Every structure is written in C-alpha cells, then in structure tokens.
Structure 1
Amino acid sequence: MPRSAPSIVIIGTGFGGLGTAVELQRAGFGDFTILERAADLGGVWRENTYPGAGCDIPSPLYSFSYEPKSDWPKRFSGQADIQGYIRDVARKHNLLPRIRFGSDVTEAAYDDATGTWTVRLADGAELTCDVLISAVGQLSRPALPAIPGIESFRGQSFHSAEWDHDVELTGRKVAVIGTGASAVQFVPAIAPSTEHLTLFQRSAAWIMPKNDVEYSKLQHTLFQLLPFTRKAERLWFWTVCEFLALALVDVPLIRKLVTWIGMRQLRKQVADPGLRAKLTPDYPAGCKRALFSNEYLPALTAPNVSVQTTGITAIEPEGVRTADGELHEADVIVYGTGFKGTEFLWPMQIRGRGGRKLEDDWAGGARAYKGVTVPGYPNLFLVYGPNTNLGVGSIVYMIESQASYIRQALERLAPHAGRVLDTRTDKADEFDAGLQQRLERTPWNFCGSWYRSENGRITNNWPGTVLSYRLQTRKLNPADHPLLPVGAKELFR
C-alpha cells in the first residue's frame, strides 16, 4: 500500500486535536478522521461551563499563532468565547466534516502483521488507520475525592467540570470542596447569592493579581488594522511567562518575587489576621500552579462565607463532617477537586507491538519521548502527553510545537511503503533521564499536587520554558525514529 497519503485517526477536538489536524492538512495530509466522544467540539472548554469559567493565560497568547483574533472581548477570556474561537478555527479550516461526534474510543491495538492500528469505539464500531494520534489531553476526567459516605449525601452534588445548571444555589447552604483553579473562579461567582458558602480547603493557593481589561472598540480596530499592535501584546505576555518559567529551575531567585507579590495581594485583600493565616500557603511558590484572581480572596471575607481547614472525615446525609466532630450542614456540595491528570489515556486500552499494554509500560508513571512518542508503539503520537503541561505559559504554544513534530514524523514516514515509524528506546531513556534530573530541581517536589503520580514521579509538567521545548521539537532527528519493516519481530534499542 502506498504511503504517500497515510490514513490518520485523531482522537479529541480540543486545541490539541484541531491544532494537529490543521498542521497536517496544511502539509498536504488529507486522509484523516477526528473522533470526538461528545456531541460538540472544544475539549475542556466544552466541558467546563461552571460560573466564572475562563482562562488564566491572556487570550492573545492562548490562541493559535496562525489564527489571531482581533476582537477578544477581554484580555482573559471566558469559556464561551474560547469555545467560540475553537469553533471558528474548525470552520475556517473545514474540519467539521472530518469530525465523527459521539465516538467514544475504548481501545486501540497495533497489528504487527499489517502495521496498522484498529480503533474500537464504545458502540462497537471499528476504524483502521496507519497513524493514530491521541489528543485527549491531561484534564479530561474529573476526579472525585475518596471521602467515606460520598454517596450518602441527601442533597444535590456535582463536580465543577460537570456543573448542573438546573441546581438552584440562591438562598441555599453550599459546601465547596477543593480550592484549585476552578474553585478560584466559581466561588466568587456563586457566593453572593448563597445563604452560606463553606469552603473546605486542604491547602491554600498562591493567589496572584489578574491584570484583566475589557478591550475597547478602539483597541479592536487597532488590532485589526495594525497587526503589529496585536503581535506586540502577544510577545509581551509570552516574555512575562517565559521570565516566570525561569523560576522553576534556572533562576530560583525569581520565586522570591512571586512570593512577595502573592503575600502583598493577600495582605491587601484580607484584613482579618485569622482568615489571612488560613489563606497563607505553607509551601513554596511554584510548587502548585499560581492562580490569578482579583475576586477570590475578597469573596472569602464576606459574612456569608467561611473557610474550613480542618480535615474532612466523611460525607453524611446532611452535610460534611470534619475531624473536629463538627457537622457542616449543606443543601448542595460542589466538588472542585480537579482531574485525574496522571492517568493520561486511561480508560482507553492501548496495545502496541507484540500486544504490549501501555498501562503496563506506564505502571511506574507515564513517560514519552519529548512527550510525543513511546517506543514499541509504532505510528502512535501523543498531543499534550506526559511532561508537556506547564507551570506557567500557554499550552497552545506547546501544542503547536508538538503538531509540528508530528507533521515532520509523517513527512518522514509517507514516502516509505511497508514501513512504520518507531522511537529508539535508548534515546527515549536518555531523554527521560535528563528530564528527571531537571524535575528534581523544581519546586514541584516540595508539595503534593496532581502533577505527581502515586509513586511520586512528576509525570505532567515540563521543567523549563516553552522556548526550550520549541527548540527541542523544532527539527525531528531521523536517527531517533527509525523506519522499520512492517512485521519486524525484533525490537531495537
């Protein structure tokens, strides 16, 4: 079978899946299908519709470089505007006809004899392709806490990523469990209308000021007529993020600046010393992602809001029981407890060369060469894979780097009929060893977070700037990715 036009299946329609599809389409790869489990596109920006949902990276940077938008309503746009942008990109590049909605992938298996992948869906359908690209991301599966009695609650409860808009919160007692990025956004949005909101906090977050603005018609006009003004703003935010990223490994002194800004924000917005003590982080800045908000801390000072730092022992029919024996009554419980970020492709079952299982190869923690390929899984590529998340910066920039790398791999593969592209195990091990050495120097080792797997391995984050990642993925090295004959039985190192 000629390889001039390999058949491609892409899983996911968020920034990763659509960005990769655009990159491949622009390079002449037209035989691709995009699978989406839901009835609409958008990834996390389709799923997360909670009140106040938005991005903490400025929109001029949190967008594709080749698809700038001159009329963002705000510097930090909300969920609806971001999903609308994703839809616009899909329409402009005529991707909607390529998407199969309602296609929930359960398994993908590589066939040694044919060098193809068989993709199985929950409804029993199967697809066969030469190349499989997973762009399901790291934040697609909500995580509920392992609290005894969670099913016994008589009121209404839901995770923030599955917000039940039919549940009335006005005039009711609301318990919020979790203080991550979602809670920082939805707590200020819902607290004023509740009878009482109790926030259960396991650890305080570093809250940074959010320099948000509403763009005026004049600014929209300038961005449209004078593109350099739009590009200058994007470059400025990119530079700021790169500067802060240096604090993670290369210039730790920058963390002192971040600490000072965060503490200044806390002192300025929380006058009560007791509450301020509760909201003071007990871990170094950078250990968890800093959160940007001008409304979160003031919301916690309201008379109808209380912050509980005593550990939760159980969920009971009437509310939340804490370790001091107190029952905090609630009509509604909202879980702002994040996602199962370290499980990556799970619950999809991925089988590679010789029937090997990816879950077995990742038993000690997920890993991939440059976050994109895994030895022993020919023609499989990951977008937003292991160790490509960011402590600071735009993941869209990282996705563009990965899409470019995948495009180069397919350009290498396409002319060679009867061959598949794999990754050298020794090169992958060498890359991972260097990555782990840098990760040991980051502040992510000083606290528990969703960045770490159960054995303590940091599987999610990239320890450096986005520029350093762009340079590593700028040019694919053919020696790292040998072309093997279909049906080859021996693995290489």
Structure 2
Amino acid sequence: MGTAHSVVIIGAGFGGIGMAIRLKQSGVDDLVVLEKAGGLGGTWRDNTYPGAACDVPSHLYSFSFEPRTDWSRRFPQQPEILEYLWHCARKYEVLPHIRFGTEVLGARFDEDAALWRVSTEDGELTARVLVSACGQLNRPALPPIPGRDGFAGESFHSARWDHGADLAGKRVAVVGTGASAVQIVPEIAGTAASLTLFQRSAPYVIPKPDRPYREWEKALLAAVPGAHALSRAKVYALYESRALAFVKYPRLMSVMNRQFLRSLKAQVGDPALREALVPDYPMGCKRILISNDYYPALTRPDVDVVTAPIERITADGIVTTDGTHPADVIIYATGFESTGFLAPMRITGRDGRELSEAWRGGAEAHLGITVSGFPNLFLLYGPYTNLGHNSIIYMLESQFRYVLGCLEALRAHRLEWIEVRPDVQDAFGREMQERLRGTVWEAGCESWYMTAEGKVVNNWPGFTFAYRRATRRPDPRHFRARRAS
C-alpha cells in the first residue's frame, strides 16, 4: 500500500488544479490528484458542444494568482478556458501529481490510523487529508422519458457531445432550454435540415456584452502595471452588485425584467412565439442566461419550438401531448445531477457513518467545506457555495485559503485530525436556510439549485466578499480534534 500521502484531491478541474497549486506553494509536495478522465479540466473538458462558452468575463473567470492578459474575447470559450487550465497545471508543475484514468469508488476514514483509505479502480491509497474537488456539474442528468432507450437514431447528452454525429441534413431534436441549449441551438440551426426545440420551461435570456479584445487592448493590459487588476476589479464590482437583486431586494429584478421584455420583443416579432418564450416564474429564480443569437435562431423557418409536454420517445421521434415529432438525432440539453455532490462515491466517516445517509435530507457542510463526522475531509464548491451573480473562481480561492488554514492547524498543533462540531454545522445550515428565505431562488420555481424536496442547497445567499471574510481563517472553536500521541 505504501506510505500515506499528505493530501489526496479528487478531481482535476478548476478546484483540484487550484488547490494543488496552492498546496505546493505552501510547501506540501506529497499530494496526489485523482482524475477519472484522461485529461484535466472538469466541466471544461467534458462540455465540448458547439458554442460552449463561459457566462462570466474572462478577466474574472481565472485565478487571481495567474492573470492572463491575452484572452481573445470578453467571455471566454471552452477551448481557451481548457488551454488556460493546462497552462496553469504545467507552469506550477501539477501534472506530475495527477493520476489520470483513476476513478475513485469510495473513501473510508480509518479512525485508528487517522487516515483516509481511498478506493479506486486501480487499488487503494491512503491520505491524511482528503479534498473533494468534484464540483456540482459533473454528472449529466438524462430525463426519465419512457422509450428513451428505444430511439433508433443517434442520441447523446450535451456534456457528452458525439463529434462523430453528422447533423447536416438531419432532423434534430433538442430537449431542454438551459445554458447549454442556449449556446447549442444557434450553432446547429441551419446545419440541420430542421431543428425542434422541446421547451418545458422558458429561460430568461438577456443580451451578452461580448466581443473580441482588440490587439491594442491586450498589449495595454500586458504592458501597463495594474491595468489587468483594474479591469478585473471593475468586472467584479459590477457583478457583485447584482447580489442585491438576488438575495437582498428581489424586487430589483423588475428592472431587469422590463429590459428583458423589451429585448425579447425586438428580437422576436411573432406574438405567439414571443408569448411562449416568456417565463412563468420570477426572473432569477432559475439561472439567467446570456446570448445574442438564441432568440434570432428560434425565429428561423427551419426551427420549431414545442412547449407541449413530452409523453414518450419512439424509435423515430418524440411524442408530445399535441402530436408526433419525427427526429433523426436527439440532443439532451438537460443539465446535471447537481445536489448529490460526492455521489456516486461511497464516503464513510467516523463510526461507519455514510455521507449519503447523513445528507439524506439535503447536503450540509459548514461554510460548504467541512462535514461533521468526517475528519480531515474538505469540500471545494460544496453546498451553499454556488453563485447566481459572480465568478465561482473567487469562491474557490476563498476555500483554498480556508483549507490551507486547517492544514496549518493540523501541523502547528500536532493534530491527527480535526472535524467540525455538529452544533456548528447545524447552526450554519439553519442560518443558510433562514437567509435563503425571501431570496429569488425560493420565489416559486423548480431549479437545479434545489433538491427533489424543494430545499435549496447549492447557492450562497449573500455577497462573495462576505464569504471570503467568513473563510479567511478557520476558527478553532468550531472544531474538535485528536492530538497525535
């Protein structure tokens, strides 16, 4: 089995790569990153569909310790984001620590040895500290539509895009109208002979202030000290201000809603189609999307929007309550299983406690990072840390610092393990639920932010700078610990 590693990280996306970099910078070199895929990148490795891009500006959707001044455009596209992550992994020498093609099946905390025993398809390894960097959007969700497996044509999820599928001249059905669909539809409309979009719930889609960076702008950002930092700060402040509408004063959404309706009317002339594209829930309750070409694509004569519920899928098409829609290809843009976090891995803590059982009523973790009953386990992008208004990279960097603080406490005080106290975790969970009440996310819609029972467990109900302040250092009073003998 070998000697126990200091830290094992599960996942090589933004969270795993950033955490590994920060650990190495703090002097921890005995670390391993376990990645089930053949390459790094997480969601930016998996989502290679046409038009895949980020909805946060590039200067903010990057590590503060590794600024990039030569982004090609304001909102980065998938290949450029993935290339940036590879650059970071190479520059900071993280690649030698990554074990690609190594899927974690589960992990068990050995209390006697004060070690995590991590089970993989290639065997077991041990670690003093286990960090989950699996993210929230890594397991594609396929809808339980009767007959789905009996479809005779090509079908795939947007996060598992089949690049061998030729859409030219085909009747293409797109199921779902989330963030990926808004990017996919404009890209494939016109290539396909026809495109039918099956909409269960209309999204709010607002204009995307995107454009390529001019060469002189990139030169200025690279040459002038502080120019990039100023650009990043400006974008951060603009996006952070939107938290007021999401969590403090949801009525402010009415201003954005009026702008949305004006923009929709300008882009969609057909009153019937326009009416079908107006959401039936308050703005912000679900993720607000950005695009300049989604609505124009829906007005094409070879594109049809179907709002009737899907009843079943047959060998040659989709049957809704209003008729049959032939299809040669079905693309599922149906999102992810976002509230399971570490699932389907089996994580066992002290006294044989199963994480799936502890989270039966919804995932809970103090500050979204530590879980009572699971010593030396730290989550990145865990419960209550998703955002509706700003960059998740900012939240991840806050979590990196907190985890490093916990590891420093282990070292400085010669502790075998630390574990957040159950009363502290419970108090944090109650605070989160109290603060979520009255937010736009609980305004009466179903979203990927909540469990099947309707409990919001994904989003941070506040400003990101408040989260950074809350995670600036671990409070010793929040933990119980065992000293090394």
* TM-score class normalised by the smaller sequence: over 0.9
How far the C-alpha of 1:241 sits from its partner, in A, is 1.1
How far the C-alpha of 1:228 sits from its partner, in A, is 2.2
Q: Show the counterpart of 2:165.
A: 167
1:274-289 paired onto structure 2 within 5 Å? 274-289=272-287
Q: Show the counterpart of 2:43.
A: 44
Instruction: Pick one of 400, 405, 423 that aligns with 2:397.
Output: 400
1:261-276 paired onto structure 2 within 5 Å? 261-276=259-274
Secondary structure (helix, strand or coil) at the match of 1:56 reads: coil
Q: How much identity, in percent, do the aligned residues show?
A: 50
Q: Which runs of 5+ in 1 are unaligned?
A: 488-493
Secondary structure (helix, strand or coil) at the match of 2:248 reads: coil
How far the C-alpha of 1:195 sits from its partner, in A, is 0.7
**What number of residue pairs does the alignment pair up?**
482
**Equivalent-residue separation in structure 2 for 1:143 and 1:99 (angstroms):** 27
Q: Show the counterpart of 1:369.
A: 366
Q: Residue 415 and residue 301 in structure 1: after superposition, are their counterparts in 2 closer, same or farther (change >3 A)?
A: same
How far the C-alpha of 1:486 sits from its partner, in A, is 6.6
Q: TM-score, normalised by structure 2?
A: 0.97
Q: Residue 227 and residue 178 in structure 1: after superposition, are their counterparts in 2 closer, same or farther (change >3 A)?
A: farther
Instruction: Give structure 1 regions of 4+ aligned residues with deviation exceeding 4 angstroms.
Output: none
Secondary structure (helix, strand or coil) at the match of 1:283 reads: coil
Q: Is the 8 A contact 1:113 1:486 kept in 2?
A: no
1:31 aligns with 2:30: yes
Secondary structure (helix, strand or coil) at the match of 1:212 reads: coil
Secondary structure (helix, strand or coil) at the match of 2:81 reads: helix
**Equivalent-residue separation in structure 2 for 1:103 and 1:246 (angstroms):** 42
1:144-223 paired onto structure 2 within 5 Å? 144-223=142-221
How far the C-alpha of 1:485 sits from its partner, in A, is 4.0
The AA in structure 2 aligned to 1:255 is M
Q: Show the counterpart of 2:355.
A: 358
- Higher alpha-carbon deviation: 233-242 or 388-397: 233-242
**Equivalent-residue separation in structure 1 for 2:236 and 2:259 (angstroms):** 19
Residues 277-335 of structure 1: CA deviation (Å, up to 9, x unaligned)? 000011001101100000101000000000000000001111000012x1100000000
The AA in structure 2 aligned to 1:396 is I
**Equivalent-residue separation in structure 2 for 1:347 and 1:219 (angstroms):** 46
How far the C-alpha of 1:416 sits from its partner, in A, is 3.7
The AA in structure 2 aligned to 1:281 is P
Q: Show the counterpart of 1:388.
A: 385
**Equivalent-residue separation in structure 2 for 1:231 and 1:128 (angstroms):** 40
Residues 59-104 of structure 1: CA deviation (Å, up to 9, x unaligned)? 0000001110010001111100000000000011000001011110
How far the C-alpha of 1:418 sits from its partner, in A, is 5.2
Q: Show the counterpart of 2:478.
A: 480
The AA in structure 2 aligned to 1:75 is R
1:348 aligns with 2:345: yes
Residues 94-124 of structure 1: CA deviation (Å, up to 9, x unaligned)? 000010111100010000111100001123x
Q: Is the 8 A contact 2:140 2:159 kept in 1?
A: yes
How far the C-alpha of 1:30 sits from its partner, in A, is 1.6
Residues 376-429 of structure 1: CA deviation (Å, up to 9, x unaligned)? 100000000011111111000000001110000000011344521110111111
How far the C-alpha of 1:6 sits from its partner, in A, is 6.7
Secondary structure (helix, strand or coil) at the match of 2:149 reads: coil
**Equivalent-residue separation in structure 1 for 2:225 and 2:368 (angstroms):** 33
Secondary structure (helix, strand or coil) at the match of 1:193 reads: coil
Q: Is the 8 A contact 1:8 1:129 kept in 2?
A: yes
How far the C-alpha of 1:229 sits from its partner, in A, is 2.2
Secondary structure (helix, strand or coil) at the match of 2:189 reads: helix
Q: TM-score, normalised by structure 1?
A: 0.96
Q: Is the 8 A contact 1:207 1:265 kept in 2?
A: no
The AA in structure 1 aligned to 2:168 is T
Q: Is the 8 A contact 1:48 1:163 kept in 2?
A: yes
**Equivalent-residue separation in structure 1 for 2:413 and 2:127 (angstroms):** 16
The AA in structure 2 aligned to 1:298 is P
**Equivalent-residue separation in structure 2 for 1:330 and 1:289 (angstroms):** 29
Instruction: Pick one of 268, 287, 290 that aligns with 2:288.
Output: 290
Secondary structure (helix, strand or coil) at the match of 2:450 reads: coil
Greater relative CO, 1 or 2 (CA 8 Å, sep 6+): 1
1:28-107 paired onto structure 2 within 5 Å? 28-107=27-106
How far the C-alpha of 1:21 sits from its partner, in A, is 1.1
Q: Is the 8 A contact 1:70 1:230 kept in 2?
A: yes
Q: Residue 355 and residue 264 in structure 1: after superposition, are their counterparts in 2 closer, same or farther (change >3 A)?
A: same
Q: Is the 8 A contact 2:118 2:126 kept in 1?
A: yes
Residues 28-68 of structure 1: CA deviation (Å, up to 9, x unaligned)? 12211111101110000000000000101000000001110
Q: Which runs of 5+ in 2 are unaligned?
A: none
Q: Residue 418 and residue 471 in structure 1: after superposition, are their counterparts in 2 closer, same or farther (change >3 A)?
A: closer
Q: Show the counterpart of 1:427.
A: 424
Q: Show the counterpart of 2:12.
A: 13
The AA in structure 1 aligned to 2:393 is V
**Equivalent-residue separation in structure 2 for 1:195 and 1:89 (angstroms):** 41
Q: Is the 8 A contact 1:12 1:35 kept in 2?
A: yes
**Equivalent-residue separation in structure 2 for 1:486 and 1:364 (angstroms):** 34
Residues 205-249 of structure 1: CA deviation (Å, up to 9, x unaligned)? 011110001011101100100142222221121111111111112
How far the C-alpha of 1:254 sits from its partner, in A, is 2.1
**Root mean square deviation, CA, Å:** 1.4
**Equivalent-residue separation in structure 2 for 1:74 and 1:331 (angstroms):** 35
